[in-house]
Structure 1
Amino acid sequence: MARAPLRVGEMRTVSYTEEVFGVRARCRTRDAGGRLRPPSFAASTADAALAGLTAQVLALAMEPPWSSEDLTISDAIRLWLDDRSGDVRPQTLRGYQSTGRWLSRLVGAVPLAEAQQPARVKCMLAAVESSRGTAALDTARSALSGALGTAVEQGLLERNLVRELRRRKRTARTPSVLSLEQIFVLRALIHAQEQRSARFVGSSAFVLGWVVEVMLGSGLRINEVLALRNIDIDWRARAVSVTGTLINDSQRGLVRQESLKSREQARRIRLPDFAIRALDDARRCRSQRQEEPPHNPAIQGRVPGAWCHARNVCRTLRRIREDPVFVDQLATTGLRVEDVTPHIFRRTAATLIAMHSGDLRDAQHLLGHSDQRTTMRHYAGAPFRTVATATVLDELIGGLPYLPSDETYTLKAGT
C-alpha cells in the first residue's frame, strides 16, 4: 500500500543524533510552498531539540506556534505589541509597553479563551478601574482592545468583546483654562521667581517664562515649543514653522524628532507680539553673536546648543506652585494650584481663539487636531459659540406689544 503524501507542516521520520554538546533532532516535512524540507535543531536535551524542531516546522508551514487554548491575556498583549512594533513611533510603542506591563500584572493570567465571555471582560475592566482609577480604565480598554483585535486577526478568537461592550457614560469634566486675570497673576509670579533665581543660575532661569509665553501665543505642546530651532522662526513674518517635537529616545537620549504625530499637524503659526518678544529674549540671552547655527534650539537651558528637557521646565513650574505667595495669590483668582500644568497654557490659547472667533475650527487648526471632537472634548474650556439669532427674533417678535407680568390683560376674541 502506497504511503500517504507528506502534508504541509507534517513531521515525518523524526530522528535523534548524539552530538558533542547535546542532541540534534531531524525530520522531513513539507513547507508552505509544497517543497520537501529536512529541518534540524540541536539542543542540550532531546525534549528541547524536539521543541525547537517543531517550531521550525511550523515556521516553514507558516502556521502560528500556538493555539487559543494555550494562550493567556499576557500572550495576547505580547502579540499585539509585536504587531504594532514598527508601525508606530518609538515613544508611542513605549507607552503601549508600559500599559501592557501593568495590565498583565492585573489580568494577564486569565486564559485568552475566556475573553469571549462578556461578563469576564467586564470584570477585568472593573478590576482596572478599582485598582488604578478612571483615567487608567480608558488606557486599559485601548490596550485590551488592541490585544483581542490582534487575536481575532490571528484566528485565535472570534470576537473582540471590548469593542462591543457599552461604555459607561461619565459626566464630562470641563477642561480647566486660565482667565485673563489668572494669566496676569501667573505671569507676574513667574517673572518674580525668575528674577530671584537668575542671580544663581543665569539666563536659564527664564526658560519657563519663555515657554509659557510661546505656549499661550501658539497653543503648541511643550515639546513642540522646545523643539523650535532658529531656522523655524521667521522674524520678518513673525511666525514659526512647526515640523518636529522632542522625544526621549532610549538609545540617543533627548533628540528632535523630525515629524509630528501625523503629517497634517505640521503648520505655520503667526505669533502675537508677546510670544515673539519671548523668543527674541531667548535669542539675546543665549548668545551675543549676530548669527547662530540654524539648527540650534531657539530656547536653550544651561548647556549651550543643547535641547532643553521638558521635565526641567515642569520641575521649575512645580517649585513655583509650592511657593506660599503663589498659592495665596492664585487662590484669589479661583484657580486650583494642581490645575497649573504646562498643558493648561495650550488649552487656554485654544479656548481664547474659539471664544474670539466663535468657530471651533480655528482652535482645531491652531492645535493641529485632525478630529474636531478631540478639540471639543479636551480643549474647549469655556462656551465659545455666539448664536447669532438676535436680529431674526427681533424682527419676528420685537414688534409685538410687551405684556408686563404684574398687569392683567383680557384678550378679546378676534384681537
Structure 2
Amino acid sequence: MTVAGVAKMPRPRLELGTWGKVTRTEIAENKWRARARFRDFTGRTKQREAYGDSGAKAERNLLKTLRSEIESAGDSITGNTTVAALSTIWKTDPDLTNNCSEQTIERYADSLEHHILPALGEYMLMEVTVSRVDQFLRTLSVSTPGLAKTARTVLNAMFKLAVRHDALRSNPVRDVRLPTPKKQPVQALSVDEVGALREGLRKWQEGTGYRGPRRGSELLDVVDVMLGTGLRISEVLALRWGDVDLGEHPTMTVSGTLVYLRKQGLFRQSHTKTSSGFRILTLPAFVVEVLLRRSVAAIPTETNAVFPSGKGTWKWPNNYRRSLRDALKTMNDHGGISPHVFRKSVATLIDAEATLEAAAAVLGHSGTAVTSKHYVAKAAAAPDMSAILDRFGQNRNEKDE
C-alpha cells in the first residue's frame, strides 16, 4: 500500500516487555484515557489503557500497570524493568546466595534499603546512565566512603545480571570510579609501647575511687590473647575451651567468629572469615598463663566460651570495644587505639623479626599482599644507591689526602 506514491513502512516491532508511545485522550469531563501498545513476554502486542482525572494521572496509572506486569513476569528483565524490581530478582540470584555469607547478604540488603533504592529505585534500567550512578556514589562517598563502596559493589552485581539477561548492552556501573581515599599509615605499637599499655590497663583494673562493680581481669586478658595470637576481637570472643590445648605444646585452634544477624542475634559462626583463617596457633608463654588462670576459675556455661558474658552467653564485641575505649581514655597517649591495632602490631613485629609470610600465616591471610599493605608498619625501602652517591664525596677525599 502506498500513500502519494510512497511505500508505507511497517511499524517497527517492540522489544519484549516494552511499550510504544503513550497517547492521552479526554473522553469526558475530568476523565482521561492513556493508551500504549505493549509487547508482553509471550511475544503478543496488545493495546493497554488506563484512566485518571487528568491526562498526566491517566499516564502514570498506565505506566504503573505496565511496570507491574513486567515485574510479575518473574525473572524476565528488560530495559523497562525498574531498579527496584531488578534488586528483587538479584537477591535470589545463585551468584549471591551461594557465594556470600548471611552477614554479607544482610549488609547488601541494608545498602539497597537505605541508600540505593531511595535514590535510584524508580528508574528504569534504560534510564540508569554512567553519570547518574557516578553522581549518586560520589555524593554518598562524601559522607560515608565505606557505604559508597558497598553500594557500588551491589549495583555492579545487579547490572551484571541485567546485562546477562540482555536488558542492557553494557554495565553502567563498570566505568564508575570512587574517589581514592588518602592512605593512612599503618598504626602499630612497639614492644615498649605494648608494655606501657599493658601496665596502664593493669593499673586501671586495680584502680580505686570509682563507683560500680569491681573491675575484673578480663579487659587485659583479652588484650593479651590478641597480642599473643593476632586474632580479631570477634575471633577471641568466639573461643571455646575446646579450641584450647594447654598441654606440653600449648596451641589454639581458630575455627569460628562471632557475627550478628537481625534474625538470629549474636551467635558463633562455625567457620572463620575466610578459608585461610582456619588455623592452629602455637601459644606464647604469657597467653598460656592467662588461659591457665582463667581455666581454673572458669564456670561451666552453655557456650563453653573462654570469655563469656556475665550471663554465660557470648560476649558482644561492641561491648568489649566500649569498655576498652573507656579504659584507654584514662591513659596518656592511648585514647585512639582500637583492638585492630593489636593485630597490626603482631604482624609488624613478626615481619621485623621473622618473615612477612610468617606474619600472613599467623593472621590467617591467604597471601602476603593484604598483610604488607594494611597490617605491617614500616618505611619503604629505597634501592641501594650508595655506590653511585659516593661519587659526590670523591673530591673531598682527594683533598684530604
TM-score > 0.5, shorter chain as reference: yes
Which among 332, 337, 343 is matched to residue 346 of structure 1?
343
- Is 2:129 the partner of 1:122? no
Instruction: Please point out which of 368, 383, 399 is paired with 2:364.
Output: 368
Residues 164, 294 of structure 1: alpha-carbon distance in 2 compared, 3 angstrom cutoff: same
Rounded Cα–Cα distance in structure 1 between residues aligned with 2:302 and 2:72: 56
Matched to 1:67, the amino acid is: T
Q: Distance in 2 between matches of 1:255 and 1:57?
A: 37
TM-aligned CA deviation for residue 175 of structure 1: 2.0
Q: 1:301 to 1:283 in 2, by over 3 A?
A: farther
After superposition, the C-alpha distances for 1:330-350 in whole angstroms (9 at most, x for unaligned) are 1xxxx6x23x11111111111
Partner of 2:237: 226
The Cα offsets for residues 59-108 of structure 1, whole Å up to 9 and x where unpaired, read as 5xxx62x5322313x44334333322454222121111222223223443
Task: Normalising by structure 2, report the TM-score.
Answer: 0.71
Q: Equivalent residue for 1:298?
A: 306
1:177 aligns with 2:168: no
Contact 1:219 1:366 in 2 (8 A): yes
- Which of these residues, 199, 204, 210, is aligned with residue 193 of structure 1? 204
2:156 corresponds in structure 1 to 145
TM-score (norm 1): 0.69
Cα 1:182–1:233 change in 2 (3 A) is same
Aligned pair 1:216/2:219, yes or no? no
Please say which of residues 293-302 and 210-219 is displaced more in the overlay.
293-302
| 1:380 aligned partner, one-letter code | V
Residue matched to 1:356: 353
Match of 2:35 in 1: none
Question: Would the alpha carbon gap of residues 70 and 57 (structure 1) be closer, same or farther in structure 2, given more than 3 Å must change?
Answer: closer
Give, in whole Å, the separation in 2 of the partners of 1:179 and 1:140: 37
Structure 1 Cα separation of the partners of residues 164 and 319 of structure 2: 43
* TM-aligned CA distance change 1:238 to 1:148, over 3 Å: same
- Over 3 Å counting, the alpha-carbon distance change for 1:405 and 1:231 in structure 2 is farther
Structure-to-structure mapping, 1:16-415, within 5 angstroms:
58=73, 64=76, 66-72=77-83, 74-83=84-93, 84-85=96-97, 87-104=99-116, 105-115=118-128, 117-130=129-142, 132-166=143-177, 168-196=179-207, 201=213, 205-236=216-247, 237-287=249-299, 296-304=304-312, 306-323=313-330, 326=331, 329-330=332-333, 337-338=335-336, 340-357=337-354, 359-383=355-379, 406-408=396-398
For these two proteins, the number of residue pairs brought into alignment is: 334
Taking structure 1 as reference, are residues 375 and 109 closer, same or farther at Cα in structure 2, changes over 3 Å only? farther
Contact 1:219–1:350, Cα closer than 8 Å, also in 2? yes
Which ranges in structure 1 are unaligned for 5 or more consecutive residues? Answer: 1-8, 10-30, 33-46, 411-415
Note closer, same or farther for the CA distance 1:184–1:259 as it changes in structure 2 (3 Å cut): same
- 1:230–1:293 contact (8 Å) kept in structure 2: no
CA contact (8 A) 1:81 1:96 kept: no
SS for the counterpart of 1:163 is coil
Cα gap change, 1:252/1:118 in structure 2, threshold over 3 Å: closer, same or farther? closer
SS of 2:188 mapped into structure 1: coil
Q: CA deviation at 1:168?
A: 4.6
Contact 1:69 1:111 in 2 (8 A): yes
Cα 1:258–1:407, aligned 2, differ >3 Å: closer, same or farther?
closer
Per-residue deviation, residues 167-188 of structure 1 (Å, max 9, x unmatched): 5554422221122232122212
Verify the 8 A CA contact 1:106 1:128 in the aligned structure 2. no
| Inter-CA distance 75–363: structure 2 relative to 1 (3 Å threshold) | farther
RMSD value over aligned CA atoms? 3.8
| Larger deviation, residues 78-87 vs 262-271 | 78-87
Q: CA deviation at 1:294?
A: 10
Distance, in Å, in 1 between the alignment partners of 2:140 and 2:283 is 43
Contact residue 240 and residue 270 of structure 1 kept, 8 A: yes
Could you tell me how far 1:273 is from its partner in structure 2?
A: 1.3
What amino acid does structure 2 have at the position aligned with 1:206? S
Alpha-carbon distance in structure 2 between the residues aligned to 1:249 and 1:137 = 21
Q: Specify the code of the residue in structure 1 equivalent to 2:308.
A: Q
Contact 2:138 2:179 in 1 (8 A): no
| 1:133 to 1:167, Cα distance in 2 relative to 1, 3 A | closer
Give the percent of matched residue pairs that are identical in Structure 1 and Structure 2. Answer: 25
Deviations 1:364-411 (A, max 9, x none): 111112243222232122248799x89xx9xxx69x99955535569x
Are the aligned partners of 1:244 and 1:257 in contact in 2 as well (CA < 8 Å)? yes
Amino acid at match of 2:376: A
Q: Say if 1:77 and 1:147, in contact at 8 Å, map to a contact too.
A: yes
- Name the SS of the counterpart of 2:111 in structure 1: helix
| C-alpha contact 2:78 2:168 (8 A) present in aligned 1 | no
**Given the superposition, is the C-alpha separation of residues 206 and 108 from structure 1 closer, same or farther in structure 2, using an over 3 Å criterion?**
farther
Q: Match of 1:172, SS? A: coil
Partner Cα separation in structure 2 for residue 277 and residue 350 of structure 1? 22
Partner of 2:10: none
Q: 1:120: how far off?
A: 2.5
> CA separation of 1:136/1:254 partners in 2, compared to 1, >3 Å: closer, same or farther?
closer
